[in-house]
Amino acid sequence: MLAGQQQRLQADIRALVGRHGRDRSALIPVLQELQTMHATISDYAMQVVADELGIHPAEVYGVASFYAFLRPVSRGRFVFRLCGTISCELAGKARVARQLENDLGIRFGETTADGRFGLEWASCLGMCDQGPALLVNDRVYTRVTAEQVHAIIDECKGTFGAHAPQAVHS
């Protein structure tokens, strides 16, 4: 990592800690926003967060690796999470899954080489009455068909600044 990038990361983390406080309970909100900004939580970032909150880096890693929506891996600018749970299965998630793999060119659990798209299974998204359900970052798509997958991906590609970090939600 370049020194300039490290400094930027440090500054971002300090700003987040300034906003959420140094309490242990700030850890998850800080990690969530950091991930939104940088699309990943790097080892270095976890070290800085640990220093800022005065806890051991292993504690930060323990938390980050526990939660499905955190996990310290690069997962892409747009994370596609297809609901894998029963009602969406009954509603035909298998064909949507196959088409997502075909159109993105990756398997579940992978990220595209350009770092733009990640593909994962999600546990129940709570859209059971209108499955199959797909979550793309914060956006929910329901009654998704295999045919629509391509358009959803295109919509992401057309998003302004698709290569830039995600906007900060505050």
Partner 1 sequence: MITVNSKKTPFTFESVEPESGLRAALAMSRADIIGEVGACNLRGRGGAGFPTGTKWNLAAAARVKAGGTKYVVCNADEGEPGTFKDRVILSEHADLVFEGMTIGARAIGATVGIVYLRSEYVYLRPHLEQVLATRRQNTLLGTDIGGLAGFNFDIHIHMGAGAYVCGEETALIESLEGHRGEPRNRPPFPVDTGFNGQPTVVNNVETFAWVACILSRSANWFKAVGTAKSTGYKLFSVSGDCREPGVYEFPLGITVAELLEKVGGLDAKAVQVGGASGHCIPASEFGRRIAFEDISTGGAVIVFGPGRDMLAVARNFMEFFVEESCGQCAPCRAGNAKLLEGIEMLQRGDCSMQYVQELLGLCETMQLASKCGLGQSSPNAFVSIVKHFKDEIMGRTLAH
Q: Of 85, 100, 119, 134, which one interacts with partner 1 (CB under 8 A)?
A: 85
Considering the rule CB under 8 A, would residue 22 count as an interface residue with partner 1? no
Which of these ranges, 6-14, 38-46, 60-68, 152-160, lies near partner 1 under the rule CB under 8 A? 60-68
**Which H or E element spans position 139?**
strand 139-141
Tokens coding 98: 């196959």
Considering the rule CB under 8 A, would residue 162 count as an interface residue with partner 1? no
Write down the least CB distance from residue 69 to partner 1, Å. 3
Tokens coding 145: 């068909």
Looking only at the bridges linking them, the beta strands covering 134-136 and 78-83 are antiparallel
Q: Are 42 and 1 in contact (CB under 8 A)?
A: yes
Angle at 166 between CA 161 and CA 170, to 5 degrees: 130
Which of these ranges, 2-10, 38-46, 87-95, 105-113, lies near partner 1 under the rule CB under 8 A? 87-95
Considering the rule CB under 8 A, would residue 108 count as an interface residue with partner 1? no
Rounded Cα distance between 117 and 112, Å, is 5
Q: Which residues bind partner 1 (CB under 8 A)?
A: 23-29, 31-32, 62-63, 66-70, 84-87, 89-90, 121-131, 135, 138-140, 142, 169
